[in-house]
Amino acid sequence: MALLQQKNKRAALQKAFSQKPSRVVGSYSQGLAGPRIFVVAGIHGNEPAGVVALQRLFAQLESNRAPFYGQIIGLRGNIQALQENRRYLKADLNRLWRDEMIEKLPGQMMDADGQEWLELADLLDHLRALAEPQASQEPVVLVDLHSTSAPSCPFLIDCGDSRLAALFNRWPIPRVEGLDQVIQGTMIQYFMARGIASFAFEGGQHQDPLSAENHLALLWLLLSDLGCVPEAQQGRRGHYADQLKATVNCLHLRFRLKYRYRIQCGEAFRMEPGFSNFQPVSRGQVLARNQDGLIYCPMDGFIFMPLYQREGDDGFFIIQPVEEEGE
């Protein structure tokens, strides 16, 4: 019975993805020892900038032909949602990465409404190599590329992995801590629990052409700082570091999550227009409204990821600089 289920699973996957763009955006290696980097873009289908950046990166690597140490693999996240330019179809693919959910995969995939389960199973198959034991001690890193519905400078989601602290400190962009404490079931949480250094990077607003450029810049910084490209390529690193620095519009580079507004089922939530990421807000300021009236800011701080799209469960967050806490 289990074998039949496994065969059915494989057949469903092959049928579901045979007429779609490839899961693999690209893979590059020259066979030289070095880090292994897995990059997932478009796990939310209305966030295509990361896919564009990966396509540009692999084209640059192929044309450059300078020595390259290690391997980088780029993957599409939610392929069907990317084709339809929707965050998700039936379920948020970046909330399904829980052990109890993954254990149900064979049955969920046979559901008529199980598109995201099919995506999860196929993406997981491509990422299983992350958790395989390696004879080499070279770093293994997972990067999740995103964009936001509100205008935003690029920023990092820091889940507290000490192995990444030195990298983050070198990059001239803000990072936000604590999001992993309130949002569960993400891909990077799943692989962090399996010992893989993982982080998310937000390149900017969905529709902003600079978002793809920011994703590309971050990937080049990562390749440079992990030693994948030789020092002769450091001029390229400097160019992309300057590009990212020029997009940052906040005075602080380290923030911590302090408040989350979670949208309830059936709530007619609507953000007030005009907010951008990292914009200062004050206690008592009107931020949004619903069927019951106005929604006020609970504290002084900076608004983070205000929701300006139909799909999503989080209306907004409030963050504060870590430095103000004396840390």
pLDDT tens, per residue, the chain with 327 residues: 544 555 565 565 555 555 578 999 999 999 999 999 999 999 999 999 999 999 999 999 999 878 999 999 999 999 999 999 999 999 999 999 999 888 877 666 655 457 888 899 999 999 988 777 666 788 999 999 999 998 899 999 999 899 999 999 999 999 999 999 999 999 999 999 999 999 999 999 998 999 999 999 999 999 999 999 987 667 789 999 999 999 998 889 999 999 999 999 999 999 999 999 999 999 999 999 999 999 999 999 999 999 998 888 899 999 999 974 444
Please tell me the pTM assigned to this model: 0.89
Q: How far is CA 163 from CA 25, 130, 158, 263, in A?
A: 27, 16, 11, 34
> Tokens at residue 286, please?
């009107």
In angstroms, the first-to-last Cα distance of the chain is 56
- Amino acid at the residue 312: G
Which residue is associated with the tokens 């907004």?
Answer: 316
In this predicted structure, what is the pLDDT of residue 171? Answer: 96
DSSP string across 236-277: HHHHHHHHHHHH---S-SEEEEEEEEEPPTT---EEPTT--T
Dist. CA 51–CA 228, nearest whole Å: 21
Looking at the chain, the number of H-run helices and the number of E-run strands are 10, 14
Rounded-to-integer distance, Cα 139 and Cα 34, Å:
8
Q: Give 145's contacts (C-beta < 8 A, 6+ positions apart).
A: 39, 40, 41, 42, 47, 49, 50, 53, 54, 200, 201, 203, 215
Domain ranges of the chain: 2-247, 255-325
The Cα–Cα gap between 127 and 143 comes to: 12
Q: What is the pLDDT of residue 280?
A: 96
Instruction: Write the CATH number of the domain with boundaries 2-247.
Output: 3.40.630.10
Strands (E), the chain: 24-29, 32-41, 69-76, 140-148, 155-158, 175-177, 197-205, 254-262, 270-271, 279-281, 286-290, 293-296, 301-304, 314-321
* Residue 201 tokens, joined: 């990077």
pLDDT of residue 311: 87
Residues 6+ apart with CB under 8 A from 117: 91, 96, 105, 108, 109, 111
b/e burial code for range 78-112 (CB count within 10 A of at least 16 → b) = bbbbbeeebbbbebbbbbbbeeebeeebbebbeee
Q: Residues 214, 220, 226, 229: what is their CA dihedral angle, to the nearest 10 degrees?
A: 180
- Under 8 Å between Cβ of 88 and 44: yes
Q: 255-325 architecture in CATH?
A: Beta Barrel (2.40)
